[in-house]
Amino acid sequence: MGGDGDLYQGKIATGIFAGETKAGERFSLMKVERKSQTLGAKAPVGGIVLFDGEKSDELSDVKVGGHKMLFAGAKTKRPFTDFKLHAEFLVPFMPSGKMESRGNSGIYIQERYEIQILDSFGQRPAANECGGVYRQIAPTMNMSFPPLVWQTFDIDFTSAKWEGDKKTKNAVVSVRHNGVLVHDRVEIKNKTGQGKAEGPEPLPIYFQFHGDPIYFRNLWIVEMK
């Protein structure tokens, strides 16, 4: 495969783009495939496997597609308070979509607080882009990979504190997107988007279906007590 322009010309072969400038200076660019450091991480001793391609008894509304991938829309059967969650997800290639119409989904912690999933490759960090605490807190950087590439969220969550029906402390979350810390113990002031109202009772985790073909795999959680 070859290509040329006003200043450069070259050919792509075996993952290398080799060419030369108009002035005759030679250069080469190697293809780089980025992968999350936590891709494929296994649940530690004491962890709860939510989905591993076979096991899914901890989830409701389970739909499994080809290659043992979980369709968006599942929910944990049990509620969770404080935890560490590992999730791997894949967003589709939707080139005609704009804004939030490009692989829209999310992980709803306690069905209240959404960590946004979206095809945000090449976008500026924003609260409605991938890795954002939806419409509240933007990630410190955009760590999105291209669509059709498996990505990871590693989420540490501490539930809000209550005295009766009065909230005394906000929920706190840290998020690593593709292995990079993009939220460091940030406070979530209220429910996000269409999340359920805050309250003292813990609720399940919802892997949101928002109409787009989002897939999950290797889901596990460790309860913090």
Give the phi and the psi of residue 66 in degrees, each rounded to 5.
-65, 155
The two three-digit tokens of residue 208, written as one number? 């949101």
CATH of the domain at 178: 2.60.120.560
* 145 falls within a domain: yes
Q: Are 176 and 80 within one domain? A: yes
Stretches in the chain below the pLDDT threshold 50: none
Q: How many helices (H) and strands (E) does the chain have?
A: 0, 19
What is residue 185's predicted lDDT score, i.e. its pLDDT? Answer: 98
Query: What is the domain extent for residue 149?
Result: 48-223
Residues 79 and 6 in one domain: no
Task: Mark whether 23 and 123 lie in a shared domain.
Answer: no
Whether residues 145 and 206 share a domain: the answer is yes
Same domain, 54 and 141: yes
52 and 143: one domain? yes
In a domain, 184, yes or no: yes
Residue 38 CA, chain-centre distance (Å), reads 12
Is there a domain that residue 40 lies in?
no
Phi, psi dihedral angles at 163 (to 5 degrees): -120, 100
What's residue 99's pLDDT?
A: 67
Residues 20 and 108 in one domain: no
CB 43 within 8 A of CB 91: no
Judgement on whether residues 4 and 82 belong to the same structural domain of the protein: no
Same domain, 180 and 216: yes
Instruction: Report pLDDT for 93.
Output: 85
Q: For residues 55 and 123, state if they share a domain.
A: yes
pLDDT at 9: 81
**What's the pLDDT score for residue 136?**
98
Identify whether 215 is part of a domain. Answer: yes
Say yes or no: 217 and 188 in one domain: yes
Query: Is residue 127 a part of any domain in this protein?
Result: yes
| 197 occurs within a structural domain | yes
Please indicate, yes or no, if residue 43 is contained in any of the structural domains. Answer: no
Q: What is the pLDDT of residue 2?
A: 52
What sign has the CA pseudo-torsion 171, 78, 72, 45?
positive
Residues 28 and 91 in one domain: no
Question: Could you give the number of structural domains in the chain?
Answer: 2
pLDDT at residue 19, as a whole number: 86
Res 29: pLDDT:
82
DSSP per residue, 52-93 = SSS--TTEES--EEGGGEEETT-EESS-BSSEEEEEEEE---
Sign of the dihedral through C-alpha 184, 188, 189, 194: positive
Q: Within a domain: residue 39? A: no
Phi, psi of 217 (to 5 degrees): -155, 170
